[in-house]
């Protein structure tokens, strides 16, 4: 086994899988290659629920060349009947002799069964290559399939002195164009964007995907316990479905063009975990949390934020709204730093190594 060659082709499957961002939920991102004598003879990626799976696309693309070839795939092949037939059947019948996949699919209907079926039919199976990268690419799916709760990404644009805005200055962009484009790329990847009522009242955001090519429009979730969202707010005139999370029973009458989730308050707030549980039941696998400071603080204190995207400008604001509304307990996270024009993006995230 040449690990370097296997790594190269697995990285290529990750690139293919990314083409499905924003369209495959609640399924995983999957890319697949059929390789024979060191040459790629078939390619495929998952294009959405009910559509052909990546491995079947790659094998069909390879045709007769699949016999005796190696299948590289970014996650374990499926082995059950759903909206498509089991991919293991096609892998076996095609004559594939070896399968390389970084991780198991934790779906209880798969979870190692796909690998076992292949090995029982004389196919060599190699796993564990670039495992962490595979888990990161499918972080949304891996969390959702295990906990039925969405993966939560907190996004904030901050000045160097930790401010996210200043009501006295009105609405203005803290960070530059490159940072905004990165935010819109993340919007296009997730199932939903969530804000608190304070953000609606202060910024009147549209919460749409605009600065990159949109493959879908995420749900727009507003936490609004007292129903203060204006009926002429931008979210109602833009693309995308709206969800209002509130404690008021009369919400259905006020917002006829929105889905209403009604919760009971605890200690003066709607419990964050109850919102996420409802979102999971609704089929939402990922949420981009965009503000404001009270909402950020409540989600962090609830221990539900999986990843942070902190976009820092190179300016000081002086006065203004702080990133968080109250102090937090100390927590150590893994980080990455990236330059975006004049801005700096700090990514901080939990890594679930035992998924």
**Which residues have a catalytic role annotated?**
55
- Paired sense of beta strands 343-349 and 307-312, if any: antiparallel
Q: 3-state SS string over 316-341?
A: CCCCCEECCCCCCCCCCCEEEEEEEC
What is the distance between the alpha carbons of residues 25 and 50, in angstroms, rounded to a whole number?
11
Euclidean distance between CA atoms 316 and 319, whole angstroms: 9
Three-state SS for 286? strand
Are the C-beta atoms of 281 and 147 separated by less than 8 Å?
Answer: no
Q: CA 263 to CA 347: how far, in whole Å?
A: 32
**Dist CA 172 CA 174 (whole Å):** 6
Residue pair 52/77 in contact by the 8 Å Cβ criterion: no
């Amino acid at each position: 086994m040449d690990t370097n060659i296997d790594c190269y082709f697995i990285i290529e499957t990750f690139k293919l899988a990314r083409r499905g961002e924003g369209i495959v939920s609640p399924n995983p991102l999957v890319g697949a290659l059929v390789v024979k004598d060191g040459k790629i003879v078939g390619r495929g990626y998952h294009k959405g629920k009910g559509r052909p799976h990546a491995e079947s696309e790659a094998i069909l693309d390879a045709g007769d060349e699949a016999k005796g070839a190696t299948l590289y795939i970014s996650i374990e092949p499926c082995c059950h009947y759903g909206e498509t037939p089991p991919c293991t059947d096609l892998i076996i019948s095609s004559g594939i002799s070896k399968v390389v996949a970084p991780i198991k699919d934790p779906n209880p209907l798969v979870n190692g069964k796909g690998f076992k079926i292949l090995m029982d039919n004389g196919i060599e199976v190699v796993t564990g290559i670039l495992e962490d990268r595979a888990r990161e690419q499918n972080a949304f799916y891996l969390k959702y399939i295990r906990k039925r709760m969405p993966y939560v990404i907190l996004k904030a644009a901050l000045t160097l002195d930790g401010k996210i805005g200043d009501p006295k200055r009105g609405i203005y962009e803290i960070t530059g164009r490159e940072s905004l484009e990165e935010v819109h790329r993340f919007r296009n990847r997730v199932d939903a964007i969530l804000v608190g009522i304070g953000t609606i009242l202060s910024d009147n955001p549209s919460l749409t995907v605009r600065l990159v090519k949109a493959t879908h429009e995420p749900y727009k979730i507003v936490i609004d316990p007292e129903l203060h969202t204006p009926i002429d707010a931008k979210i109602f005139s833009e693309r995308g479905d709206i969800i209002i999370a509130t404690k008021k029973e009369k919400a259905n009458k006020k917002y006829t063009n929105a889905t209403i989730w009604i919760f009971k308050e605890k200690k003066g707030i709607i419990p964050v975990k109850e919102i996420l549980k409802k979102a999971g039941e609704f089929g939402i696998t990922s949420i981009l949390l965009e503000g404001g400071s009270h909402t950020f603080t409540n989600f962090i204190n609830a221990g539900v934020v999986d990843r942070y995207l902190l976009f820092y400008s190179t300016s000081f604001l002086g006065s203004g709204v702080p990133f968080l509304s109250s102090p937090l307990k100390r927590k150590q996270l893994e980080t990455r730093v990236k330059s975006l024009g004049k801005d700096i993006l700090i990514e901080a995230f939990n890594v679930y190594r035992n998924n």
